Amino acid sequence: MPWVLIAATCLATFAITASGVTRAPFLIDMAQDLDVGLAIIANLFGLTSIAWGLASFGAGVGSDRLGRRPFLVGAPIGLALALIGVANGQSFLAVAVWATLAGGCAGLFTGVSLAEVAGRVVDRQRGRALGWVMAGQSLTLLVGVPLAAWIGASIGWRGVNLCVAALAVVSAVTMFATTTSVVRKTAGATGTAPARPPLLRTAFSATVVRLLCSVIAERICFGLAAVYYATFMLQTYAISLAALALPLAIFAAGNILGTILGGQLGDRVKNRMLSFALALLAAGAVALLLFGWPVSVMLSSGMGFAFMFFTALSRPSLMAALANVPAEVRGTVMGLNSTAASVGWLGAAALGGWILSTVGFAGFGPLAAVLAVLGAVLALTGPRR
């Protein structure tokens, strides 16, 4: 496998994901600083998701026509500039505008990077290859968010955004270094244009659309915890921001372990959709305990670990199945995957904010369980390919 490219893409994915999720420990601080309500600040995730999704689709189609490299290098640079704007925003409107631009730049990268890596390996290696790339997201939760909470205790949420901007610049350099010397002759690969226009009918086949709906359900289920877990712990147990770092690290450890094992599982099972469905159903069951039985910090930390483990275990199988399309439309399909994921994040932020303001965190578990069942049913309906 192209380990150098995978490592560079993993680092860039870490920076891209950190641009959004490292806000989670600072929702209360940002609300106080910008003089708005907590629910208003949570809407930043929704704005980011909208821009992320729209940009992902456009970048996916563009990369099938123009090649991957302009997006893989240019997107992190644009992200760094947008995060500098977020760090210097003095009003909610200014922060919202820059955060939306940051989400758009992140969207230009995610689907294209998955398509590039998937195009470098055969189908039976894609679960592992994409699992390692998605480990960058897991590392953001395992290392990035706890580290952001620890650093943010000293330099605040604005300083954390500047740190992520610097990391985005570094990731742009690594993507440039790993793609400039690579010449691909296949359609849509680095630095080349496809031999014929993408077959959009293939990209929007019934199977792809059904799996994209599973992506939305899974991402809402995952996003409910990823966005609100830090706030849940802070408000439920009244712990300090510094003390939150350990529960967040345990929470994220489940994600990275599940991602790595999920990549191995996705390349070894005959029915990828069955493994996805079973893992997602397990995550829904754990969510009922996580949000419905807040007994102690350690128990909630353990439930958070289990929830993240099962959601992460499910995802590589689903991504590998989506990537198993003709090379001419792989960028488009993986861009659609990122768009669907963004719709899921938007749904998680919106639904989570509404439930939080009405019934509280107790409503998160039943919603996550219903979404898990829905995602599993969609994945198991119809042909496997």
pLDDT digits (tens, 9 = 90+) for 233-271: 888 888 876 778 788 888 878 888 888 888 888 778 778
The distance from CA 292 to its chain's CA centroid, rounded to whole angstroms, is 25
pLDDT at residue number 216: 92
Cα gap 375→55, rounded to integer Å: 24
How many other C-beta atoms lie within 10 A of the C-beta of residue 195? 11
pLDDT at residue number 383: 55
The distance from CA 200 to its chain's CA centroid, rounded to whole angstroms, is 25
**What percent of the chain stands above pLDDT 70?**
92
In the chain, the amino acid numbered 358 is T
Which stretches within the chain are classed as H helix? 3-21, 27-34, 38-66, 69-88, 92-119, 123-139, 145-179, 200-203, 206-237, 245-266, 272-292, 297-323, 327-358, 364-380
The distance from CA 247 to its chain's CA centroid, rounded to whole angstroms, is 20
Lowest-confidence region among 58-62, 93-97, 193-197, 202-206: 193-197
Task: Give, in words, the CATH class of 3-380.
Answer: mainly alpha
Q: Using 50, 70 and 90 to split pLDDT, how confident is the model at 192?
A: very low
Domain extents in the chain: 3-380
pLDDT digits (tens, 9 = 90+) for 367-383: 999 999 999 998 888 65
How many other C-beta atoms lie within 10 A of the C-beta of residue 124? 11
Cα gap 331→62, rounded to integer Å: 8
Asked whether the whole model's pTM tops 0.85, one would answer no
11 and 170 Cβ atoms separated by less than 8 Å: yes
pLDDT digits (tens, 9 = 90+) for 64-81: 888 888 999 999 999 999
How many other C-beta atoms lie within 10 A of the C-beta of residue 246? 15
How many other C-beta atoms lie within 10 A of the C-beta of residue 289? 17
